[in-house]
Structure 1
Amino acid sequence: MATHANAAAHPQSRTPLVIDISRLGRRPGSMLTLCETVVGPTRIGLELVAIDEGAPLELDLRIESVSEGVLVTGRVSAPTSGECARCLTAITGSVEIELTELFAYPDSATDETTEADEVARVGVAGGADTIDLEQPIIDAVGLALPFAPLCGPECQGLCPRCGVALASAEPGHHHEEIDPRWAKLAGLFDEEARD
């Protein structure tokens, strides 16, 4: 039996990633599909690149009752923003993750034989069974995003001396380098020239 979950699946009092699955029932094989766009409740990602809080998260999920709990599979996609790890230029993009997560029923064998942080659990809110997709999405997005995002594969970064972005610096950008062994002497010549 397949039914379609819609925006009414999560009342405003909860995060949009807490999904009411009470219509699913617990008979193995029962299924809901969830195809909607929700507002990201928090910033999701890494230090340099992430899905911003309030960004649209596109959910295309299949929620299926299995003997030990609820299996969620499908895709989540969203726009990303951040800055280049080399030149600190603002960058935008998108991320798409494949989600596969089992939520154990309370008092199931899986619930009783696994540690609290090893498997997600079906929760109860307002008398309805719910699943919270936030942590599985956070984990999957963290693995999918680049740790050091770049504005382009040929990004030259910043000048180590003055900090200007080398991509926008004049051609042949460089600084006079004085051998550190002679630096004090160069300072003496500068003082003599001023006298």
Structure 2
Amino acid sequence: MATHAKAAAHRASRSPLVIDISRLGRRPGAMMTLVQSVPSPSRIGLDLIAIDEGVPLQLDLRIESVSEGVLVSGTVSAPTAGECARCLQPITGDVEIDLTELFAYPDSTTEATTEADEVGHVVDQTIDLHQPIVDAVGLALPFAPLCGPDCAGLCPECGISMAAAEPGHHHEQIDPRWSKLAGLLDEEPRE
């Protein structure tokens, strides 16, 4: 019963990353290629940088039937957008991931001997590439993206971008331990 509910949910989600493999067949060695551009069904990435929803994902994949399931290998690439971790300026770039993922056939030994989230599954002659792509993109993107390797960031006192600040930008600060003495210097002498 749980398999039927899982299959229904899988069909309902029918994102562009759910691939129909019915023409592949189950004979080991059968292969098909998939070279196409599909819109990203959701934002994929990290907090500061990601592939935005709707951006084209370039799929260049080889889909092979093996004894235990379907092996997907190839590359996925897409443009990224985000902000610099130091100065918060918008940045853009590209990410390309290598994908190698096994999707187990129903009632295969692989499906029976692995945890549900360890391996993908063939459901109603389809495979869903969304989670493997999310995982691989998350590992490929920098955790702290920069607009440039020499980005100086923001001034910790006033918040202005150091790239836009005048040369020698700084703020006079008195060490809090000496602030009382500085106050004495500011007082006018008594007569």
Residue of 164, 169, 179 corresponding to 1:168: 164
Pairing 1:1-80 to 2, within 5 Å after superposition: 14-80=14-80
TM-score by length of 2: 0.88
Q: CA deviation at 1:14?
A: 1.6
Match for 2:69: what amino acid?
G
C-alpha distance in 1 between matches for 2:83 and 2:186: 41
Residue 137 of structure 2 corresponds to residue 145 of structure 1: no
Secondary structure at the aligned position of 2:80 is classed as strand
The aligned counterpart of 2:81 is 81
One-letter amino acid of the counterpart of residue 174, structure 1 = H
2:175 corresponding residue in structure 1: 179
**Which amino acid is 1:135 matched to?**
Q
Matching residue of 1:112: 112
Displacement of 1:72:
0.2
What are structure 1's unaligned runs of at least 5 residues? 1-10
Q: Could you tell me the TM-score, scaled by structure 1's length?
A: 0.86
In structure 1, how many angstroms separate the alpha carbons of the residues matched to 2:12 and 2:102? 25
Q: How well do the aligned residues superpose, as a CA RMSD in angstroms?
A: 1.8
Structure with more of its chain in helix, by fraction: 2
Inter-partner Cα distance in structure 2 for 1:49 and 1:143: 12
SS of the residue corresponding to residue 176 of structure 2 reads: coil
Partners of 1:182 and 1:141 lie apart in 2 by 50
Q: Specify the alignment match of 1:7 in structure 2.
A: none
Query: C-alpha separation between the residues in 2 aligned to 1:68 and 1:18?
Result: 19
Residues matched between the structures, number? 178
3-state SS of paired residue (1:181): helix
Fraction of identical pairs, as percent: 76
State the 1:12 CA deviation: 10
1:90 shift after superposition: 0.5
